[in-house]
C-alpha cells in the first residue's frame, strides 16, 4: 500500500475528489490517502502560501500530491497556491494529454478527425516568477526568466516522453522571431537535445502559427513543448479541441515531487449540488496511477470511463441533451458498474502493475542548477531605464552633456522602439526611456565603471532600473532596439 497526499480543494473540489477516490477504492487501487490542508480556506486562516506547514511537510515526505481545483483569494496580494506548489517543489514539466473521447462531441469528433496531442509546458520560469515593478506611475515591467538548466529539464523530459509514447514527431512552440534571446535560448536547447534522439522528427513552429494549425489540423501534432506562458495558453486551446477543461488532465512532474490535479476552476456556483463533472480529475488520476506503476488499475478504470461515455452517460455540462444528465455520484457509480467492460474505441491494454514507490529525498540544501559556461563574461555597456516626459532629443542632449567616461550613448528607445539618434515623430511615447551606453573601444567595464555611469545619469534623471550588457566572446547577451 502506497500512501499519497490528497488536497480536496475548493468549490466543487471535495465532491469530485470524493467521487474519484470512490472509484479508486472500488477498483482496489492499493493507495492510502493522507488529506492535507490547502486552498482558499487555508489562505483565509492566515497562511499566505495557501498551505499549512504540516501540509508542506507531509507532501515533501510522501513525494506525490493529488489535488482538486483551488481558488486564490482576490485582492489580497497573495500568490496562486497552484503556482506556488508547482514552483516550490520544482515540478518543472507540466504534462497535459488531449485525446478524443467518444461520447464527448466536438467539431473534430463529428468530422472524424482523431486528436491525440500531448502538451509539455515548462512550469517554473518565464513570467510566472511574478516579478513585477512599476517603473513610473504609467509604466509596469515584468521580468521574464528563461534559463538554460530549466529549459534542459523540461525539454529532456518531453523527448523522453515522446520516446516512451512511440511518437514520431516532437515540436517546439516558441516566439524566438521576436524574443530572440529568451525564446531563442529555449529553442537552442531544444535542438541540442534533439541530436540525442535521431529517431524522432524534431521541428519548431512559431506559437501563433502553432495555434492556427492546432485549430485547423490538430491531428498533425503529437508532442509539443513550450515555455510557461505560451504553454499555458496552448494547453487550454487544446482542451477546447476535445471538449473543454472538464476533459483536460494535468500532471506536474519533478525530480523529487509530482503533482496530479484538475486544472479547471472551482465552479463555486454549482458547489455542493452534486452535479459537477469529475472526468478531468479522474483522467489526472490515471496519470498518477501510471506514474507509480499501477498500470492494470489505471487501464481497468479508464476502459470503464470510456465505455460509460460511449454509453451516453453524462453530467450536465456535456453530452447528448436528449439523454437526461446524471449527478456526480451517479456518474461515478456508472463507471464502477462498468468495470471489466471494453469500449468500442481506443480500449486500453491491461498491463500487470508493478508498484513504483517514489524515492523520498532528504535534501540538506537547495539544488543549484548551472550549465558549463561558454567563457568569461565581459561587460561592454549598460542599459539605464530612466523616467522622463521630455522629448528624445532633449533627453539625449542632457545625457551627452554629462561627464561620463569610457562609454558613449548609442541609442535611446521607448517601449522597445528606437527614438534616438533616429526615429519617427509618429512613435507615441511614455514617460520611461531605455538609454544604452556602450564601451567606446569595446573593452570591458568594471563594477566601478557601471556605478559611475549610473551616478552620472542620476544627476539629470531618476534611474528606474539597470541592466548590464554582457558578451561571451563575440556572442552578445542583449538585444537591439526595434529600428536600431
> Is 377-476 in the same CATH topology as 2-337?
no
Assess contact for 248 and 280: CB atoms under 8 A.
yes
- H/E stretch holding 18 reads helix 13-26
Class of domain 2-337: alpha beta
**Residue 398 to residues 350, 388, 390, 460: CA-CA distances in angstroms?**
75, 11, 11, 7
Looking at residue 238, what is its pLDDT?
97
Q: Are 270 and 279 in contact (CB under 8 A)?
A: no
pLDDT at residue 76, rounded to an integer: 60
Domain boundaries, the chain: 2-337, 377-476
Instruction: Give the chain's mean pLDDT.
Output: 94
User: In Å, how far from its chain's centre is CA 46?
Assistant: 27
- Whether 279 has a pLDDT exceeding 90, the answer reads yes
- Does pLDDT of 374 surpass 80? no
Q: Output the nine-digit C-alpha cell for 282.
A: 479522474
With pLDDT > 70 as the criterion, what percentage of the chain qualifies? 99
pLDDT > 90: percent of the chain = 87
Least-confidence region, from 74-83, 199-208, 242-251, 327-336? 74-83
Measure the CA–CA gap between 222 and 97, rounded to whole angstroms. Answer: 10
Write down the pLDDT at residue 376: 86
**What does the pLDDT average to over 274-299?**
97
Peptide bond into 421 cis (omega under 30): yes
**pLDDT tier for residue 168 given thresholds of 50, 70 and 90:** very high
- What pLDDT score does 443 carry? 86
Contact 40, 10 (CB under 8 A): yes
The residue-averaged pLDDT of 382-403 equals 94
pLDDT at 373: 79
- If one counts every other C-beta atom within 10 angstroms of the C-beta of residue 60, the result is 18
* 75 pLDDT more than 80: no
CATH 3.30.70.1570 at 377-476, yes or no = yes
Q: Residue 77: what pLDDT?
A: 64
Look at residue 165 in the predicted model and tell me its pLDDT. Answer: 92
Q: Render pLDDT for 428-437 as a digit per residue (tens, 0 to 9).
A: 999 999 999 9
Cβ-contact 464, 135 below 8 angstroms: yes
Amino acid at each position: 500500500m502506497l500512501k499519497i497526499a490528497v488536497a480536496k480543494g475548493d468549490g466543487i473540489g471535495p465532491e469530485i475528489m470524493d467521487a474519484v477516490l470512490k472509484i479508486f477504492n472500488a477498483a482496489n487501487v492499493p493507495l492510502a490517502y493522507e488529506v492535507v490542508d490547502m486552498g482558499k480556506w487555508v489562505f483565509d486562516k492566515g497562511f499566505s502560501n495557501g498551505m499549512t506547514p504540516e501540509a508542506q511537510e507531509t507532501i515533501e515526505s510522501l513525494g506525490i500530491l493529488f489535488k482538486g481545483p483551488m481558488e486564490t483569494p482576490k485582492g489580497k496580494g497573495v500568490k496562486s497556491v497552484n503556482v506556488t506548489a508547482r514552483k516550490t517543489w520544482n515540478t518543472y514539466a507540466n504534462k497535459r494529454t488531449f485525446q478524443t473521447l467518444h461520447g464527448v462531441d466536438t467539431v473534430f469528433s463529428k468530422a472524424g478527425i482523431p486528436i491525440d496531442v500531448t502538451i509539455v509546458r515548462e512550469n517554473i520560469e518565464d513570467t510566472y516568477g511574478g516579478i513585477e515593478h512599476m517603473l513610473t506611475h504609467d509604466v509596469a515591467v515584468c521580468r521574464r526568466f528563461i534559463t538554460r538548466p530549466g529549459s534542459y529539464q523540461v525539454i529532456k523530459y518531453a523527448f523522453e516522453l515522446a520516446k516512451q509514447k512511440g511518437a514520431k514527431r516532437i515540436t517546439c512552440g516558441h516566439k524566438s522571431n521576436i524574443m530572440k534571446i529568451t525564446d531563442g535560448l529555449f529553442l537552442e536547447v531544444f535542438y541540442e537535445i534533439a541530436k540525442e534522439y535521431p529517431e524522432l522528427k524534431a521541428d519548431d513552429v512559431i506559437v501563433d502559427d502553432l495555434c492556427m494549425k492546432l485549430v485547423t489540423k490538430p491531428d498533425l501534432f503529437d508532442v509539443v513543448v513550450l515555455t510557461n506562458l505560451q504553454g499555458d495558453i496552448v494547453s487550454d486551446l487544446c482542451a477546447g479541441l476535445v471538449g473543454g477543461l472538464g476533459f483536460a488532465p494535468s500532471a506536474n512532474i519533478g525530480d523529487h515531487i509530482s503533482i496530479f490535479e484538475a486544472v479547471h476552476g472551482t465552479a463555486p456556483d454549482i458547489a455542493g449540488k452534486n452535479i459537477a463533472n469529475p472526468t478531468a480529475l479522474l483522467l489526472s488520476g490515471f496519470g498518477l496511477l501510471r506514474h507509480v506503476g499501477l498500470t492494470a488499475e489505471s487501464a481497468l478504470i479508464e476502459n470503464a470511463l470510456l465505455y460509460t461515455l460511449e454509453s451516453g452517460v453524462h453530467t450536465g455540462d456535456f453530452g447528448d441533451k436528449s439523454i437526461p444528465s446524471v449527478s456526480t455520484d451517479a456518474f461515478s457509480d456508472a463507471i464502477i458498474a462498468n468495470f471489466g467492460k471494453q469500449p468500442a474505441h481506443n480500449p486500453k491494454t491491461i498491463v500487470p502493475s508493478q508498484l513504483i514507490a517514489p524515492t523520498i529525498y532528504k535534501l540538506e540544501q537547495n539544488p543549484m542548477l548551472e550549465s558549463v559556461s561558454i567563457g568569461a563574461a565581459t561587460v561592454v555597456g549598460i542599459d539605464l531605464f530612466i523616467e522622463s516626459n521630455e522629448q528624445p532629443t532633449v533627453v539625449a542632449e542632457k545625457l551627452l552633456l554629462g561627464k561620463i567616461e569610457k562609454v558613449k550613448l548609442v541609442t535611446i528607445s521607448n517601449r522597445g522602439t528606437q527614438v534616438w539618434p533616429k526615429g519617427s515623430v509618429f512613435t507615441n511615447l511614455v514617460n520611461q526611456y531605455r538609454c544604452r551606453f556602450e564601451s567606446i573601444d569595446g573593452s570591458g567595464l568594471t563594477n566601478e565603471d557601471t556605478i559611475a555611469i549610473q551616478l552620472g545619469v542620476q544627476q539629470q534623471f531618476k534611474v528606474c532600473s539597470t541592466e548590464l550588457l554582457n558578451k561571451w566572446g563575440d556572442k552578445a547577451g542583449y538585444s537591439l532596439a526595434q529600428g536600431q
